[in-house]
Structure 1
Amino acid sequence: MSSKRPVFKPYQQRQLMAIPPTLDELVPASHPVRVVNDVIDRLYLEPLLKAYHIRGSSSYHPQMLLKVLVYGYVTNTYSSRKLAAACRESVYLMWLSSMNYPDHNTINRFRGVRLKHALRDVFEDVVKLLAEEGLLSIEEVNTDGTKIEANANRYTFVWKKAIQTNKEKMKKQLSEIWDYAQSVAKEEDRLPDPPDFTVIDSEKVNAAVDKLNEKLSSREDVSKQVKSKLRYISKHYPQAIARYGQQEALLGERNSYSKTDTDATFMRMKEDHMKNGQLKPGYNVQISTSNQFIVNYTIHSNTTDTNTLSAHLAQHEVSFGKAPQVLTADAGYGSEENYTRLEQKGTIAFVKYGMFDKEQNENHNNKHPFAANKLFYNQEKDCYICPMGQQMNFIGTSKRKTSTEFEQTVKRYQAVNCANCPLNGICHKSKGNRIIEINENLNRLKQKAHELLNSEEGIQRRKKRCFDVEPVFGNIKQNHGFKRFMLRGKEKVEIEWGLVAIAQNLRKKAA
């Protein structure tokens, strides 16, 4: 048997140190916590201090709480309870908080209340500091959006279509009862003409129910079924109409909302827990990035990216005093309204329109030889020439408004005689003479976008967009596990995403 024994490093748990190490010595010089500390120390935090009252007991310093929160989001610790525990357990958070131990209520109240009016300023200051260091550009940005689930019940919802269906059923029931009352009433006791139920409200329903009760409830020749139906209408319809009115006010232009977070709209998301395309309550998050740093962010309750760009640009102007010089985005933003807004602001827009990618394919162009955009336009006579050489004459102009109240102008042209044309049925599917609608402003804007996108600069910017803005969402969602908001209500969701955006920028700077 060998007398040799293994050698171990000293382990003396109760050994006292003459000069114990400080927390600062335990934090490596290149650790991300130092980046968080350094950047927040350089910020102007006066707007945050205004959220505190002068009177009352002393509070934890907002600078310390902001550092704790931001570092929590940097390290994927989003829960206030976990952050409070980490302030007692993590060397990095103990160093950052200077051995302060805020409880989870303090952290949560700071996040949801104190930061309400100050976090946007903090985010903007971080962006400006990074811009001064040459890490990002505020003038040249890439824009995209994603949908993130709200902290709301997935199965308690209100749908606009369901409200409309129920109101139509109510109108029908009231009309039927009114007609019945007319049929059984004596000549001298006949009801007036039925109310106009085109627009139905609580006051109108109450008046109709009172009149029907007056005429029918005391009559013995009225069937029990009708009286039962009238009692049900009297009891439920006025309250239901009042409830529907409140729900429609909350819906606004949306098609749905969640009962547990009324600002959240049901949207189709890539992260599908049921794997069946189920809609979930969520928010449409829009960001502009530069070099994978988030320069601007906005939160929206509407589901389509198209209708978010105006508000997103407006926020950029409020934050930095002017619109971006260059904006690159995918086809989800290629509408007449967005192109017009960007043109008015002097922004060079490398923004695709809906058919741009398909137009790059020659086979697609050959599939639709009779499309309106393929027809020859005679500028002198203001007419189009159909595939058989007939003139399609101008017949008028129409104006229409989009869901965002943007006015579009469309010119209409009609062929003279399609009845005996050998291409009838191939050229178009309508029964009469073919009519085409031409939006000249949109065509001009699309042509301008086409030229920009196919230029050498446009090709480079299109390539860059794919690995600039899209990986930011992928990093936040997949690498850092932020797929669902923890706070409820659009106002608090904006705070939470602001912290996510600051954390993304500081992680990128640390890297």
Structure 2
Amino acid sequence: MNNYYYNDYFEIGQQKIANFNLYQIGLPEDDAVYTLKKVLEELNFDQLTARYSNKGRKGYNPIMMYALIVYANMRGVRSVDKIVELCERDICFMWLAKGERPKRDAFYNFMNDKATTYIMENLHYQFVKILEKEGLIFLKSLFIDGTKFEANANRYTFVWRGSINYHLSNLLFSIEKIYERYNKLLTSNGYDDKYSLHEEEMFVIEGIDKVREIIRKNKERKLSKKKKISNNKVIKISNICPVKLLDLQTNLTKIAKEEDIIFVEGRGQKKTELQRIYEKVEEYGERLMKYKESFEIMGDNRNSYSKTDVEATFMRMKEDHMLNGQLKPAYNVQIAVENYFIIHTYVSSDRTDYNTLIPIIEKHHEMTGVKLEDITADSGYCSEKNLLYLKNNDIESYIKLQEHEKKKTRKYYQQIGKHYNMKRVEKTDANGDNQVYYICHANRELKLIRVETRREKGFSRTYKVYGCEDCSGCKHKSECLYNYDEDKDLEKNKVMKINENWEELKKHSEKNILSEKGIKNRQIRSIQTEGHFGDIKENDGIRRFNHRSKKKVYKEMMFYVMGRNLNKYHRFLQGTLKRFEPKNTEKVA
């Protein structure tokens, strides 16, 4: 079966349409379509062709379909209808299609069903290995950057965690009243003894007290016209909560059946108390399940999603057509580049870049098997978790610090309340133990008070808390203490928390980025990686995805990346593009 598709598509000798070859028609010999054909002949399509049955009529050749979509992306065409039209009118597409004219349904069936994520990655990394074999890349250094692309979702279909928390709080108050009415119904009518039913207690949802406290504070802040506090506390509704409401309905149904109570509808019909309670329990149960489903969609790492693409998160975009800072449903797309070629692509629903670095590195080790030597990225990836991961895996970090630009200012070194502007003293006491303390601007000692450990999302941080025993009479208090209030903080002493492990990791990364290699790496990243996104958005006009769901968006991106890499490869073959050599500069911003 596999040989059939290969023999059917890759012919020996000239590729012909009817009785004409491309040279006779007049297509230039340096056209990128020849480079595409050359690469396709070196790829192994066994996994793709294995998804086709050898029974019945044979559809369009899957290798041909893949070639057409990739070549369309090489030409900047992403619309399926446009590809269908080009297969009928454009000589290159007609040559790749061997004169056949696949329609839009054939393309959508191929992209959505046949070309799985695993197959797309397999073909991509086969091409990456070809580039490595030809010496165009070495896979030992990666230059990473990310940007946001708008999702194919309606703009005003947002669901916010804070809004759900607010409505859930009110719903639980209503459910609590229903429990009271239910228990009163049982005891006042003797149903508890008659049917062996007992009074029910309201279920508890962990964390709702903190949500209500924030709601209370926000109401007070609204009166004083202050900014609201974020109410994005992660709440988890257990399965037992809706089950307990269902138990109430079951009990009410049993009572109604035994007491011959008929539920009525319509104008002029008077409902019994039992029916009213039953309908309220049903309504509240449906709302509770709706909120539970929304929390499950968002998980622990997101605070919003779109109803028309639940995997898209609302993010602040640079393109703001209403000029009001509105949020749009989008995906965070990451690329890892070497020598102009996109080696890895990663699509995330996370608004920030912190959690995208480690998945890219793990994918590199899994798909290429090559040991990474260094990573270059901007300050968006600078976190203790990421730098510690790089250190533990012997990967040099060339990640710019978040305070990199601030360190160039005079104000940074004038903040006397910061530990990095204090003198750090290490000495050995009489017992031979090493002691560390800081000396502030007023020559007072800040000694170690305690050690704190915080654990968040599976990652722990250790803080050493230093404090001054007596700050009374210090004239630098207003500059040293954060948000100093003379009336409230007159007796307050200076206390500061220092994550020494984090400080050491930052110091090492800063040393790297200020080295000669670090300066060159930052030049390469800013020109190549950021240059890709500038070209994609401005020249190719890609700012919004055509498909919905992270899986389909990722495949759409993989088709585009394959086409983009082939264009770069074609330019290398033609000699119009050469390996980038950074300038030897002593100082780079």
Task: Give the TM-score taking structure 1 as reference length.
Answer: 0.87
Q: Which residue of 1 aligns with 2:204?
A: 197
Alignment match of 2:453 (pick from 399, 402, 405): 399
Preserved contact between residue 181 and residue 277 of structure 2 (Cα < 8 Å): no
Give the aligned partner of residue 136 of structure 1: 137
Partners in 2 of 1:255 and 1:192 — Cα distance? 37
Deviation track 1:444-478 (CA, whole Å, cap 9, x = no partner) reads 00110111111111112112211010010111122
Residue aligning to 2:465:
412
Q: Could you give the per-residue CA deviations for residues 323-373 of structure 1, whole angstroms, max 9, x where no partner exists?
A: 421211000001111101111221111101210121123x13233122122
Q: Which runs of 5+ in 2 are unaligned?
A: 1-17, 193-197, 207-236, 262-270, 428-434, 572-589
Does structure 1 retain, via aligned residues, the 8 Å contact 2:416–2:440?
Answer: no
Q: Deviations over 1:390-446 (max 9, x none)?
A: 22222222221334x221111111210123322223211363322111111100001
The secondary structure found in structure 2 opposite 1:147 is strand
Aligned to 2:295: 248
In structure 2, how many angstroms separate the alpha carbons of the residues matched to 1:56 and 1:155? 47
The one of 454, 463, 467 equivalent to 2:523 is: 463
CA distance in 1, matches of 2:334, 2:144: 7
Partner of 1:14: none
Q: Distance in 2 between matches of 1:183 and 1:60?
A: 70
Q: Are 2:316 and 2:326, in contact at CA under 8 Å, matched by a contact in 1?
A: yes
* Residues 355, 225 of structure 1: alpha-carbon distance in 2 compared, 3 angstrom cutoff: farther
Distance verdict in 2 for CA 1:186–1:229, change over 3 Å: closer
C-alpha change, 1:167 and 1:205, in structure 2 (3 Å) is: farther
In structure 2, relative to structure 1, the CA distance for the partners of 1:104 and 1:443 (3 Å cut) is same
- Cα displacement (A) at 1:118: 0.5
Q: Quick check: 1:272 aligned with 2:320? A: yes
- Secondary structure of the residue that 1:28 maps to in structure 2? coil
SS at match of 1:469: helix
Q: 2:475 aligns with which of 399, 414, 422?
A: 422
- Aligned equivalent of 1:40: 40
Deviation at 1:124, TM superposition (A): 0.8
How far 1:35 moved relative to its partner?
A: 1.5
**1:510 is aligned to 2:564:** no
Bigger RCO of structures 1 and 2 (CA < 8 A, at least 6 apart): 1
| SS of 2:479 mapped into structure 1 | coil
| Residue 5 of structure 2: aligned partner | none
Q: Within 5 Å, which residues of 2 pair with 1:260-409?
A: 260-361=308-409, 363-380=410-427, 381-403=435-457, 405-409=458-462
How far apart in 2 are the matches of 1:214 and 1:418? 71
Deviation digits for residues 172-201 of structure 1 (CA, Å, limit 9, x no counterpart): 223345567789977999985842433452
Inter-partner Cα distance in structure 2 for 1:149 and 1:437: 39
Kept after mapping to 1: 8 A contact 2:315/2:328: yes
Correspondence for 2:158: 157
Alpha-carbon separation, structure 1, partners of 2:420 and 2:276: 58
Q: Residues 57, 355 of structure 1: CA spacing in aligned structure 2 closer, same or farther, 3 A cutoff?
A: same
Amino acid at match of 2:69: L
Give the paired residue count.
487
Deviation at 1:127, TM superposition (A): 1.7
Whether the 8 Å contact between 1:80 and 1:105 is mirrored in structure 2 is: no
In structure 1, runs of 5+ residues without a counterpart are: 1-18, 219-223
Conservation of the 8 A alpha-carbon contact between 2:252 and 2:274: no
Q: What does residue range 482-493 of structure 1 map to in structure 2 within 5 Å?
A: 482-493=542-553
SS at match of 1:195: coil
Contact 1:141–1:327 (8 Å) recurs in 2: yes
Name the SS for the 2:169 alignment partner.
Answer: helix
Query: Does the Cα contact within 8 Å between 2:246 and 2:285 map onto a contact in 1?
Result: yes
Mapped to 2, the partners of 1:228 and 1:270 lie a distance apart of: 53
Decide whether the 8 Å contact of 2:334 with 2:347 is kept in 1.
yes
SS in 2 for 1:158: strand
CA–CA distance in 2 between the matches of 1:340 and 1:364?
29
Pair 33,373 (structure 1): closer, same or farther in 2 beyond 3 Å: same
- Indicate whether 1:450 and 2:510 are aligned: yes
**1:13 alignment counterpart:** none
Percentage of identical aligned residues? 30
SS in 1 for 2:528: coil
Contact 1:142 1:288 in 2 (8 A): yes
Q: Secondary structure at the match of 2:480?
A: coil
Q: Secondary structure at the match of 1:107?
A: helix
What amino acid is aligned across from residue 170 of structure 1 in structure 2? L
